[in-house]
Amino acid sequence: MTNATISAGLIKGADRRADNVHWQHMAVDKEARSLAKGQKPCCLWFTGLSGSGKSTIANVLESKLHLASHHTYLLDGDNVRHGLNRDLGFSDEDRTENIRRVAEAAKLMVDAGLIVMVSFISPFKADRRLARSLFEDGEFIEIHVDTPLDVCEDRDIKGLYKKARAGEIKQFTGIDSPYEVPENAEIVLAGAETPPEELADEVLNILRREQII
């Protein structure tokens, strides 16, 4: 696509008379960024238990999207808890505010034209509903990484389940705090047996089918 094509299509409120010598500014909006990047910006919201494989799958997916020249970003605990949300603790109120800000940051990035992956346990339906409500229809794609608790606990990569069982961590999702299973997730991934590689391909195929990429 040439710049001329972009600008002809997207100049807003421009005076198109040939004798208009003023350069007209185009509105650089979501549509313009989407066209320039050749993708439909959206938020892929990965939810699931600790150890379900959310971040692993999201990382593999991001690699594949990047190799296919797509523009992505992955928001997870690592880059958010130490920055944007560093002032938040783990009370119910703070957990909700944590999710809200992540969703708002994701919304800004979708507005910037990116395919944004969010990888957060996000155990409560109300919080996921709030996140979804920020986006336009079709922009929010909930992906439930559905790995049974016993499998996650067996993996226990970070040793957190052991600590939760010992009472060293309180309100741990799946142990002494509920995980509310999504009822209407756009995508459900069977995280127990299928390798992350194949699960990422499943998502990739759906994104192609839905003409997001």
Residues annotated as catalytic are 122
Interface segment toward a second copy; rule CB under 8 A; list 45-53, 97-105, 138-146, 178-186 = 97-105
Shortest Cβ 96–a second copy spacing (Å) = 11
* Cα–Cα distance for residue pair 115/100, rounded to 1 Å: 18
* Contact characters 138-167, a second copy, x per CB under 8 A: ------------------------------
Nearer to a second copy, 106 or 164 (CB): 106
Q: What is the DSSP string of 118-187?
A: EE-----HHHHHHHHHTSPTTTEEEEEE---HHHHHHH-TTSHHHHHHTTSS-S-BTTTB-----SS-SE
Residue 108: how many CB atoms within 10 A of its CB? Answer: 10
**Of the candidates 60, 99, 131, 187, which one interacts with a second copy according to CB under 8 A?**
60
User: Would you say 191 and 52 are in contact if contact means Cβ atoms under 8 Å apart?
Assistant: yes
Q: Does 108 bind a second copy (CB under 8 A)?
A: yes
Backbone angles phi, psi at 30, to 5 degrees: -55, -40
Can you give the binding site for a second copy, defined by CB under 8 A?
3, 6-7, 23, 25-26, 28, 32-33, 36-37, 59-60, 62-63, 66-69, 71-75, 79-80, 83-84, 87, 97, 101, 104-105, 107-109, 111-114, 134, 197
